[in-house]
Amino acid sequence: MSFSEAWSWEDVFPAIFQPTPLEFADDPGRTLRHLHSLDLYTFYLQVSSNGANEEVLCVCRFPRKPGDEARRAAHVTRANVLDMIREAKGTPVALYAHGNAESVHTSFAVSEFVQENLDSIYVSFEWRGYGMDESKKPRFDAQSDRCAALLRFVSSDVGCLVLRNPVILIGYSLGCAVLLDAVEKRRRALSDAGNDVLSHRLVVTILLAPFLSAAALVVTPSFLTDVVTHIFPPMNNARAIRSLRSDVFVVHGTGDDVIPSKHSPKLLEVFQSSVGNLPHRARLLFLRDAKHNTLLAGTNRLRVAMELQQFMSAR
């Protein structure tokens, strides 16, 4: 075991793993009704993590178009979700890994942004120890295992032969690390099976306020950032992004008081060096004076939507 592996990073960085209050934990029915009122369908996905199987709450939201028959959101089965995605006839699926200050029932800004600007099916999942989940302790590997399972559900052997929908990935803050770690796990699993279907399905990966690595958040002097990022592997986006094979769109506020904006250009440098001559593009959008939690608020939201649509239309 290496020196870095001997540490429990969830203990070293407890501030990163402080879940949102379990607002409706004492009344699961109220949580589901709340999600349905937001036009979100709910379903459970079985996930294997750390040798144990668990049922994970997931949500999905379908784009509304003029003339569409109104649907009443409800709790449905996984098969129901696959059927509804298939009925959407190739509509992209946008998978969102929320940030530390969110849960599936508070991620309003991103689900609405997806519906308004990406014309995509929004899917997300509850983190271990967050929201309605009754697990006692959040774990980073459990969050990325859940994300990898949902990614598998919408992009590969579970739905591939039936759906073939393009996939958009979205991560916010700590959710970027969860997302990129999940991509790394899925690519490793697919590579072992001799299948690279994930690369063919990904359209764009959107990273909102990502960090280079968890260690680089703590060791702030620039001359040490690269060193600690290389030495300490947990929650290391600089390592995980090397497995990504899609266009990448990064947004960061210059006034971010949680994750310094200097992390994003360094992360994109790593990505661009890893793809080499492959035709994957990268774009970094700095929002002047924007704080960590205001990237999709007010005029920032309009700016991100405009820049993202231009980026995607140029493919």
The residue range of the domain holding 116 is 4-27+91-313
Please give the pLDDT value at position 193: 58
How many other β-carbons are positioned within 10 Å of the β-carbon of residue 251? 24
Residue 194 lies in a domain: yes
Query: pLDDT averaged over the chain?
Result: 81
Which has more confidence, 195 or 76?
76
pTM of the full predicted structure? 0.87
Q: What 3-state DSSP class applies to 116? A: helix
pLDDT band, residue 78 (cuts 50/70/90): confident
Residue 32 lies in a domain: no
Tokens 């993590």 belong to residue = 49
Residue 109 lies in a domain: yes
Residue 163 lies in a domain: yes
Residue 140 lies in a domain: yes
Cα separation of 112 and 61, whole Å? 9
Residue 262 lies in a domain: yes
Residues 6+ apart with CB under 8 A from 291: 253, 255, 256, 257
Please give the pLDDT value at position 139: 81
Q: What is the pLDDT of residues 146-161, one digit of tens each?
A: 999 999 888 764 444 4
What is the total count of domains within the chain?
1
Residue 141 lies in a domain: yes
Mean pLDDT over residues 166-177, rounded? 94
Which amino acid type is present at position 153? F
How many other β-carbons are positioned within 10 Å of the β-carbon of residue 249? 22
Residue 86 lies in a domain: no
CATH number of the CATH domain containing 236: 3.40.50.1820
